[in-house]
Structure 1
């Protein structure tokens, strides 16, 4: 076995040991010395592989993102886009409730910009939002919808975990989920897109004269583009 492979196996052993301490005893228990003992290593090995305790915690958080990503169920063509959105939100919240200590480490104020698994999960969410937009369901812009969906799921979990167990009301989760759905989607498609882009263009073209955001020149140009799309059959 090469040194790179041995390092990979050792890294995973250390991450597993740190995760076990995190889940059993909390974040404060995850010290380099305690993790080294749990993994059957000397403390210098932790520093060689992860740099310091912060590097180790980042690796544990990345493991959490990767585990969550592996559990995502992605239907490329869901029958009901709104129920697909609800299901994905429930899955994200459920992961947090089932892995409280790990979730707090993943989302408790740390940056996710360096996490490949987090970015991959975000792209899956963007794909769901894009399908909603293409189907005429989206009430807000795609970027805002992604932020709202992600923020409400994260906020639901962190609020739930921060409350005393006796005060946790399951209605909180359902209420936040439905508030999210209502904020980012229409009750029915704003544009019927069964006819493809041409049908969507006709619907938008019909509503164009009543808008006041565009200048007359911009409205004229957009009208020409929509006319060309509407004629494409």
Structure 2
């Protein structure tokens, strides 16, 4: 194990037992068996260390998502993704609080990867005509609600019932998903169709339109999908 990894593992171990999702550099150095200069050489300062630990936590979270294979039902996959997110938070409360702490001012790249995975999942939902808003808008709604519920469950678990995650998930999904079938009248079906066409256009890679024409069409579809 490299010195850097040893420091990260020591910080992660201390963090797992911390009631406030924080660790001191002195405690980390003692646990890793290194001096402060070594820690600062690898991470710069305490914020750099915490950012690295957060990245380590996100990597653990993303490992399961990377290994998952999409099913034939993108909506079911979306629900599963929400539930897995909450389960990871509940099983790793200290990690999760730090992952979303204001003390870490620079989000790691792995956090951006998680968002891109969610966006890709929503684009699959849009491609089958089940999304009533654009994938980016839906991603913002799902991510903010999912993180909010998870944080409440790891910081105020005694206040919330066991079904708060399911109820919030179902409410958010009701706002972004549609069960309307092709041929049904109404604005809901129009929004879903526009969102579906936008998703298919993004994935097609077709050169039938110029970049400017594609951009204009996507803008018009986005308006119809809102």
TM over 0.5: yes
Q: 1:65 to 1:145 in 2, by over 3 A?
A: same
- Using the size of structure 1 for normalisation, the TM-score is 0.73
In the aligned structure 2, how far is the partner of 1:157 from the partner of 1:191?
38
- How far, CA to CA, are the matches of 2:106 and 2:21 in structure 1? 24
The equivalent of 1:173 in structure 2 is 165
Q: Which has the larger radius of gyration?
A: 1
Q: Partners in 1 of 2:55 and 2:77 — Cα distance?
A: 26
Aligned match of 1:74 in 55, 68, 92?
Answer: 68
CA displacement at 1:189 relative to structure 2: 4.8
CA 1:26–1:162: 2 relative to 1, 3 Å: closer
Alignment of 1:1-233 (within 5 A): 9-27=2-20, 30-72=23-65, 73-76=67-70, 78-109=71-102, 114-165=107-158, 167-189=159-181
User: Does the 8 Å contact 1:18/1:60 carry over to 2?
Assistant: yes
Q: Judge conservation of contact 1:160–1:168 (CA < 8 Å) in 2.
A: yes
CA distance in structure 2 between the partners assigned to 1:91 and 1:164 by the alignment: 17
Spell out structure 1 runs of 4+ moving beyond 3 A: 26-29, 109-114, 188-192
Any gaps of 5 or more consecutive residues in structure 2?
Answer: 185-192, 198-215, 218-226
CA root-mean-square deviation: 2.7
Residues 105-148 of structure 1, C-alpha deviations (whole Å, 9 max, x = no match) = 00123668652212222221111111111111111111110111
Q: State the alpha-carbon separation in 2 of the partners of residues 170 and 114 from structure 1.
A: 30
Please, which runs of 5 or more residues in structure 1 have no aligned partner?
A: 1-5, 193-199, 205-220, 223-233
Q: How many aligned positions are there?
A: 190
Given that 1:138 and 1:186 are in contact with CA atoms closer than 8 Å, whether structure 2 keeps it comes out as: yes
Query: SS in structure 1 opposite 2:17?
Result: helix
For 1:109, what is the secondary structure of its paired residue?
Answer: coil
Contact 1:136-1:191 within 8 A present in 2 as well: no
Following superposition, the deviation at residue 162 of structure 1 comes to 2.5
Q: CA 1:111 to 1:190, structure 2 compared with 1: closer, same or farther past 3 Å?
A: farther
